């Protein structure tokens, strides 16, 4: 099932209220976004030039600590849609359970897809997918383990959409222009809290990135995405403070969950995963307080919560949980 978080319209249809009445914790998007700078008129009136896109890519590459070729895309989801075209159709394996668009995109493109439960089970696949850290359980793999895995697969896709707060996990700094068997995906909107901007990157060797750039076309992202991305990736102070705040808020959320009797199953500092015993019943209980959460069709107990922000929202959440 291609179910997702962020489906607040579903909650409103059943439990009422307007969007502004709800605390939407069903996604892993930073609730305190990067402050959008004033944009020039050119961001809206002109197509991004090659120089614009190059400046964005170079600034993001410095933030990622990589010298490998990169291509900007309209969010990590746009990259996921392109991944099946990078290799001849064959046998794909996805380390799961994880973000369901990877397997869905591969199947839609004619790949034979199998979901496996261990990293070693990916070996031998023509194309393998690892989300690191994983969504929803936060499972982590070292860059060394993933680079070793790449030697045993045809093409390894590493989705680092939630890696921004955990820079030590990233494989991107280990890639070069000569890398052949790895493509790393990065998301902008989750960590910077601007998911509606639709910005992400694919990182890898020259051959794969050139192919992706050709498929993406001459204007893969908007002028607004270029200008905001430039400002955000250049702001090391904001990124450092945000990493610390997210860690503190994730710990705070774990404390509320523990007092509610839930068991922490994992997550990242952008979202937490709990076993509530009966996730659907718990989701409905929170929904009566106009707090929306994420449950999963493959687990009776798992519930994922993103972070909230502001004293009033934290107080509402604490009241709902107690």
E runs forming strands in the chain: 23-24, 70-73, 91-95, 112-116, 127-131, 155-159, 182-187, 200-204, 263-267, 271-275, 291-292, 294-295, 302-306
Tell me, what's the pLDDT at 2? 78
Phi, psi (deg, nearest 5) at residue 128 = -125, 150
Query: Average pLDDT in the 141-152 region?
Result: 98
pLDDT grade, residue 128 (50/70/90)?
A: very high
Asked if residues 302 and 273 have their Cβ atoms less than 8 Å apart, the reply is yes
Asked if residues 133 and 112 have their Cβ atoms less than 8 Å apart, the reply is no
Task: Determine the CATH number of domain 41-234.
Answer: 3.40.640.10
Query: Average pLDDT in the 122-143 region?
Result: 98
pLDDT in tens, 261-292: 999 999 999 999 999 999 999 999 999 999 99
Nearest to 151 by CA among 179, 190, 132, 177: 179
pTM score over 0.95: yes
Nearest to 48 by CA among 230, 185, 172: 230
41 CB contacts (<8 Å, ≥6 apart)?
Answer: none
Angle at CA 201, nearest 5°, toward 249 and 70?
135
d(CA 95, CA 5): 20
| pLDDT higher than threshold 80 for residue 101 | yes
Query: Average pLDDT in the 213-231 region?
Result: 98
pLDDT in tens, 49-76: 999 999 999 999 999 999 999 999 999 9
Phi, psi (deg, nearest 5) at residue 316 = -60, -40
Q: Where are the domains of the chain?
A: 8-33+237-321, 41-234
Asked if residues 231 and 37 have their Cβ atoms less than 8 Å apart, the reply is yes
CATH architecture of 8-33+237-321: Alpha-Beta Complex (3.90)
């Amino acid at each position: 099932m291609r179910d997702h978080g962020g489906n607040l319209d579903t909650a409103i249809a059943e439990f009422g209220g307007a969007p502004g009445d709800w605390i939407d914790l069903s996604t892993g998007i930073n609730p305190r976004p990067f402050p959008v700078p004033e944009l020039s008129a050119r961001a809206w009136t002109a197509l991004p030039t090659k120089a614009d896109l190059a400046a964005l890519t170079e600034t993001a590459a410095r933030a990622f600590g990589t010298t490998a070729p990169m291509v900007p895309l309209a969010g990590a989801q746009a990259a996921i849609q392109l991944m099946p075209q990078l290799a001849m159709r064959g046998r794909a394996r996805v380390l799961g359970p994880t973000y369901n668009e990877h397997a869905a995109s591969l199947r839609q493109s004619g790949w034979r897809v199998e979901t496996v439960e261990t990293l070693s089970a990916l070996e031998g696949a023509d194309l393998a997918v690892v989300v690191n850290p994983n969504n929803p359980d936060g499972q982590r793999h070292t860059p060394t383990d993933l680079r070793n895995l790449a030697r045993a697969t045809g093409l390894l896709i590493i989705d680092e959409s939630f890696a921004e707060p955990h820079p030590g996990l990233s494989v991107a700094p280990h890639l070069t222009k000569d890398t052949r068997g790895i493509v790393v995906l990065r998301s902008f909107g989750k960590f910077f809290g601007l998911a509606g901007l639709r910005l992400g990157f694919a990182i890898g060797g020259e051959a794969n990135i050139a192919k992706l750039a050709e498929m993406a076309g001459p204007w893969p992202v908007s002028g607004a995405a270029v200008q905001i991305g430039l400002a955000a990736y250049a702001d090391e102070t904001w990124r450092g403070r945000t990493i610390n705040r997210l860690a503190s808020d994730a710990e705070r959320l774990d404390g509320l969950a523990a007092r509610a009797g839930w068991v922490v199953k994992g997550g990242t500092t952008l979202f937490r995963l709990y076993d509530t015993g009966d996730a659907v019943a718990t989701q409905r209980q929170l929904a009566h307080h106009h707090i929306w959460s994420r449950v999963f069709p493959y687990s009776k107990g798992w519930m994922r919560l993103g972070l909230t922000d502001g004293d009033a929202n934290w107080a509402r959440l604490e009241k709902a949980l107690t």
